[in-house]
Amino acid sequence: MLLLDVIWCWLLVRIARRVWGRTVLSVFMAAQILSFIWLIGGRLLHLGWDRALPKFAVTAMFIWHFLGLGLLSLLGIALIPVLLVWNIVSKARRSRVHIPKPASDPAGHYSRRDFIGLTVAMAPPLFTLSLTGIALSQLNYFRVRRLVLPITNLPIALDHLTITQVSDMHVGRFTSGSVLQKMVSTVNNLRSDLVVLTGDLINDSLSDLSEGLDLVRAMDPRFGLYLIEGNHDLIDNGEEFERRVKASGIAFLLDETATVVVRGAPVQLLGLSWTRTRGEKRDQAISQSVRELLRLRATDAFPILLAHHPHAFDAAAEAGLPLTLSGHTHGGQLMLNEQTGFGPAMFRYWSGLYQRVDSKLIVSNGVGNWFPLRINAPAEIVHITLRRA
């Protein structure tokens, strides 16, 4: 990324031509490069430097490096053959008719070439700063998505059972301050029978874990609260995360189950640990973990699988499990519409309700953020009401 930063800085400054344009671009690119080095250095050395960056600066840096830089590079690669042909044709025309190469007007007037160059060069910082403003306004917003699910053979006592699903809080870099208290207040105002947290309590740093655990303790369901882990929880030190959460007294399920009695009927929560396997064998490993966890299934209780990765639904549906709750996808994060974007490009299930025979899956968009910008994938807390089918 740093190499691409340097390359594009050199190219954009050359294209800008005007002194003020070059100055603006140089300042913008220098800020991006320094912020990137500061963030990575702070994380790698565990010195906490990354925590000192203003939210505006780190938001702009994320948008530029994870979105703007990639789009610009793809556009640049696509335009290379077009620019080569255009340059060859232009030179051939000049040599035939002896048209002098246009120059900038020293009096301050812009030639068409100046104007086009400056417009092209200023597009990246304008793009980045505009999206940064949008992202900052989104970081304090989330919705409550309400779903009513008809469940075959749901025990009579569990008719109208309510569950609040809180997924992907990502306490830390982008999810901080008053919005966290707003999340807790929203959960408590829903007065659900159960509250389940389906992974990614923290963004990446264990320094945020104490605050995250305090927020979980402040949630007040009628009958029980249960937590599982996600991939971001394990970035800093997975073993230490698991040890501290276990010691907190919060019901933390690591390939374990817990049974809570709701209005006289037992409900069994099956909590799946994050599968460390990567690459092509990940889905196979997830399915194997689900099958092993389901060996603990109680025959006399209504089962609910909590799995951070939604692909756990394949094995759950195969086993006839009535309900699976997942997160991880952030609703696709950047979506052109409900069916087009990063969601379907990366996951089989990415947002909302999915069904296979009598088995249902809810994938939450998540209420927090690891990346500051969302498009057509709003942050959310999910409120579920179960009904007898």
Task: Please report the DSSP string for 251-274 in residue order.
Answer: -B-SSEEEEEEETTEEEEEEEPPP
Task: Give the tens place of pLDDT for each residue, 61-82.
Answer: 999 999 998 888 888 788 777 6
* Type of residue at 94: R
Q: Cα 272 to chain center, whole Å?
A: 20
Helix (H, G, I), strand (E, B) or coil at 204: coil
Q: Which residue has the higher pLDDT, 278 or 178?
A: 178
Asked whether residue 172 carries a pLDDT value surpassing 60, the answer given is: yes
User: Is residue 194 over pLDDT 90?
Assistant: yes
Q: What is the mean pLDDT of the chain?
A: 91
Ranges 74-78, 123-127, 139-143, most confident:
139-143
Least confident piece of the model among 14-23, 296-305, 365-374: 14-23
Smallest CA-to-CA distance from 1 within 44, 36, 50, 38 is with 36
Nearest CA-CA partner of 269 in 217, 196, 319, 320: 196
Kindly report which listed range (31-40, 90-99, 156-165, 283-292) carries the lowest average pLDDT score.
90-99
User: Which of the pair, 102 or 19, is modelled with greater confidence?
Assistant: 19
pLDDT digits (tens, 9 = 90+) for 296-315: 999 999 999 999 999 999 99
pLDDT for position 114: 67
Residue 387 has pLDDT above 70, yes or no: yes
pLDDT at 365 over 80: yes
What is the rounded end-to-end Cα distance, in angstroms, of the chain? 53
pLDDT value, residue 115: 73
Residue 107 has pLDDT above 60, yes or no: no
Give the mean pLDDT of 289-295.
97
For residue 129, give the 3-state DSSP assignment: helix
- Indicate if the alpha-carbon torsion angle 13, 19, 25, 28 is positive or negative: positive
* Residue 132: pLDDT over 80: yes
Residue 136: predicted pLDDT = 95
d(CA 350, CA 311): 9
Q: Give Cβ neighbours of residue 138 (< 8 Å, ≥ 6 apart).
A: 369, 372, 373, 374, 379
Contact indicator for 225, 219 with CB cutoff of 8 Å: yes
Q: Strand ranges (DSSP E) for the chain?
A: 143-151, 161-166, 194-198, 224-228, 256-262, 265-271, 302-306, 323-326, 335-337, 340-341, 352-356, 359-363, 380-388
What tokens were used for 252? 């933390």
Q: Residue 100 above 90 pLDDT? A: no
Q: Is the pLDDT of residue 88 over 60?
A: yes
Cβ atoms of 198 and 169 within 8 Å: the answer is no
- In the predicted model, what is the mean pLDDT of residues 342-364? 97
Q: Is residue 19 predicted with pLDDT exceeding 90?
A: no
Identify which has the larger pLDDT, 234 or 86: 234
Q: What is the pLDDT of residue 45?
A: 77
pLDDT band, residue 345 (cuts 50/70/90) = very high
**Local confidence band at 42 (pLDDT 50, 70, 90 cut-offs):** confident
- pLDDT attached to residue 108: 55
What's this model's pTM, rounded to 2 decimal places? 0.89
Pairing mode, strands 352-356 and 359-363: antiparallel
Categorize the per-residue pLDDT at 109 as very low, low, confident or very high, splitting at 50, 70 and 90.
Answer: low
The Cα 234–Cα 41 span in angstroms is 19
Handedness of CA 280, 332, 78, 69 (dihedral sign): negative
Which band of pLDDT confidence, cut at 50, 70 and 90, is reported for residue 4?
confident
**In the predicted model, what is the mean pLDDT of residues 104-108?**
51
Range in 43-47, 145-149, 218-222 the model is least confident about = 43-47
| pLDDT of 264 over the 70 cut | yes
Cβ atoms of 376 and 336 closer than 8 Å: yes
